[in-house]
Amino acid sequence: MAPESHPGTVFRAATVVDGTGGPAYRGDVVVSGDRITAIGEPGTLGARHVVDADGLVLAPGFIDMHSHSDLQILAEPDHLAKVSQGVTLEVLGQDGLSYAPVDDATLAALRTQIAGWNDDPPGFDWNWRSVREYLDRLDRGIAVNAAYLVPQGTLRMLCVGFDDREATGDELAAMRRVLAESLREGAFGMSSGLTYTPGMYAPTSELAELCRVVAEHGGFYSPHHRSYGAGALAAYEEMIEVSRWSGCALHLAHATMNFEVNRDRAADLLSMVDGALADGVDITLDTYPYLPGATSLHALLPSWAAEGGVESTLERLRDSAARERIRHVMEVDGSDGNHGVPIDWDSIEINGVRDAGNTGLVGRSIAESARTAGKAPAELYMDVLVDERLGTSCLMHVGHEDNVRTIMRHHAHTGGSDGLLVGSRPHPRAWGTFPRYLGHYVRELGVLSLEECVAHLTARAADRLGLPDRGRIREGAAADLVLFDPDTIADTATFDDPRRTADGVHHVLVNGIPVLEHGNRTEALPGRALRRNP
């Protein structure tokens, strides 16, 4: 008997891991247009185009819940880093700093402040100011789908400025108004970067007031909270209390327990999360499957040194008295920018510079470069920030493997790369996060089953975003799909060679259109900006 014929494409005899966490099964899956239109027993369905999927896993496309592709997804639309991993949706606007909503002055400041995250490409067309206009720009052609969070630091920059103080009543009203407008324009919620200026200057009460607005629009709050180091548990508790008070759903960004003070303390975090969940607080979280973190090099400064914006920061870095004060805070007291922990210069590795004269620093720790230069580490650190006008990035070697494994097992867990795509040697998580989960932590270590891990990377994330038609393989769902070999899928990106594509990913569809075929990038740009309130 001939297979039932359909238009479109059939993935024949695939091992279907559908995103629900349920057992895998073998079957045919048909895609027509941008939807999954039929699922049947192996060999029972036909279509115009047939992909032999025997021995391969067909899963929903992976959802990167913490991405920093805000600019590079436009500047480099090929977007191979994410497409090659099987990512079909990214959540942008993270850590409280991104490029909408802005005015001209705010945009100019952001372009400098987060150049180490996203670069500042010459000749780039910055033709948006509002969230609506940014999303419309994405709709002009991107490789994967994108969702956006309103960045609270950008919001504060726009309405308050760079001062370390509480917002006035009028300023808070302005932030609430712009936030509400941005949510109506399609944002899925709000992010914060509470170790970054100026977002870190907001008190708990201000965050809670903003989260009430987010809750009123059905969104969620995704904070990079005030400490991942000495004050980590207190910082997590603050975010949970904001969620309790405001009624806003909470998604804890890159929910790690780092630095020596938090070795083997992941269980303490999860106990706190479980207690809040039992009380009815709506909490999810994301992590990346690596030990080092990554950020802008200037983010490690104490907050008072960055007050007033880029030029004020640079002025302090050129002043000998201010430099000595900065050094003492960073090395003795523990800068709030370094999570309250006295800095270990051996753990901070420069991984991206803009000035060609500083390329010799890339791939080396601050301590190592300082010894070579015959300088004190703090002196070299501040000299580099001045040379680079803050536009450089670093790796922070501060993680613990047991904490990483413990947190990824939690039922509220989702996956996020937190990957920066620019710099000479970016963190390999930008190219390897999702294959690393499936290869290293599923196949090699057995930390999660294949079905459970796929659920973390797909349906759980889609549920947090409120997207019932994504993250699962079922009839009528959006055709965001990845076909991979469970025996060979692996991250190949390394800290020495971070832009290597993964092994074992064969096909990727975004909205039913192939963006990867037989492991090769197509020219298609079928992604679009998804909107929470279309």
Identity at 297, one-letter amino acid code: L
Cross-strand bridge partners of residue 252? 285
**Residue 424 has what pLDDT?**
87
- Are 364 and 350 a contacting pair, CB within 8 Å? yes
The tokens of 126 are what? 């910055």
Region 321-332: mean pLDDT is: 97
What's the Cα-to-Cα distance from 66 to each of 110, 430, 509, rounded to whole Å? Answer: 19, 11, 21
- Please name which of 331, 260, 256 lies closest in space to residue 293, comparing C-alpha atoms: 256
Region 458-467: mean pLDDT is: 98
- Are 112 and 313 a contacting pair, CB within 8 Å? no
Cross-strand bridge partners of residue 287? 415
Q: Is 220 exposed, middle or buried (CB count within 10 Å of its CB: 0-12, 13-18, 19+)?
A: buried
Between strands 249-252 and 283-287, the pairing is parallel
Give the tens place of pLDDT for each residue, 225-276.
999 999 999 999 999 999 999 999 999 999 999 999 999 999 999 999 999 9
Give the tens place of pLDDT for each residue, 515-531.
999 999 999 999 999 99
Cross-strand bridge partners of residue 527? 142
Region 303-321: mean pLDDT is: 94
* pLDDT of 79 over the 70 cut: yes
Who contacts 249 (Cβ-Cβ below 8 Å, separation ≥6)?
189, 215, 219, 220, 221, 243, 282, 283, 284, 464
- Please name which of 121, 151, 122, 117 lies closest in space to residue 134, comparing C-alpha atoms: 151
Between strands 413-415 and 249-252, the pairing is unpaired
CA pair distance 112, 180, nearest whole angstrom: 27
CA pair distance 519, 506, nearest whole angstrom: 5
Identity at 533, one-letter amino acid code: N
CA pair distance 345, 367, nearest whole angstrom: 5
**Residue 3 has what pLDDT?**
78
| Secondary structure class of 27 (helix, strand, coil) | strand
- Please name which of 367, 421, 126, 410 lies closest in space to residue 257, comparing C-alpha atoms: 410
The pLDDT-based confidence of 12 (bands split at 50, 70, 90) is very high
Q: Is 265 exposed, middle or buried (CB count within 10 Å of its CB: 0-12, 13-18, 19+)?
A: middle
pLDDT more than 70, % of the chain: 99
Give the tens place of pLDDT for each residue, 129-150.
999 999 999 999 999 999 999 9
Region 476-505: mean pLDDT is: 97
What's the Cα-to-Cα distance from 133 to each of 115, 156, 314, 345, 529, rounded to whole Å? Answer: 21, 20, 32, 42, 11
DSSP letter at 243? H
Q: If you search the block for the tokens 């190949």, which residue do you land on?
A: 492
The pLDDT-based confidence of 1 (bands split at 50, 70, 90) is low
Region 291-299: mean pLDDT is: 92
Give the tens place of pLDDT for each residue, 174-225.
999 999 999 999 999 999 999 999 999 999 999 999 999 999 999 999 999 9
Cross-strand bridge partners of residue 415? 287
The pLDDT-based confidence of 2 (bands split at 50, 70, 90) is low
**Residue 423 has what pLDDT?**
87
Give the tens place of pLDDT for each residue, 417-441.
999 999 889 999 999 999 999 999 9
* pLDDT of 492 over the 90 cut: yes
CA angle in degrees (0–180, nearest 5) for 468-483-82: 75
Gap between the terminal Cα atoms of the chain: 45
Please list the alpha-helical segments (H only) found in 409-483.
429-436, 450-457, 459-465
- Are 145 and 531 a contacting pair, CB within 8 Å? no
Between strands 189-193 and 45-52, the pairing is unpaired
Higher per-residue pLDDT: 6 or 14: 14
- Please name which of 456, 426, 442, 419 lies closest in space to residue 489, comparing C-alpha atoms: 442
Who contacts 123 (Cβ-Cβ below 8 Å, separation ≥6)?
none
**Residue 326 has what pLDDT?**
97
Compute φ and ψ for 203, nearest 5 degrees: -75, 170
- Please name which of 286, 258, 529, 270 lies closest in space to residue 418, comparing C-alpha atoms: 286
Region 436-458: mean pLDDT is: 98
pTM score of the predicted model = 0.95
Total residues belonging to the chain: 534
The pLDDT-based confidence of 156 (bands split at 50, 70, 90) is very high
- Are 477 and 469 a contacting pair, CB within 8 Å? yes
The pLDDT-based confidence of 534 (bands split at 50, 70, 90) is low
| Secondary structure class of 168 (helix, strand, coil) | coil
The tokens of 129 are what? 């100011």
CA pair distance 304, 275, nearest whole angstrom: 35
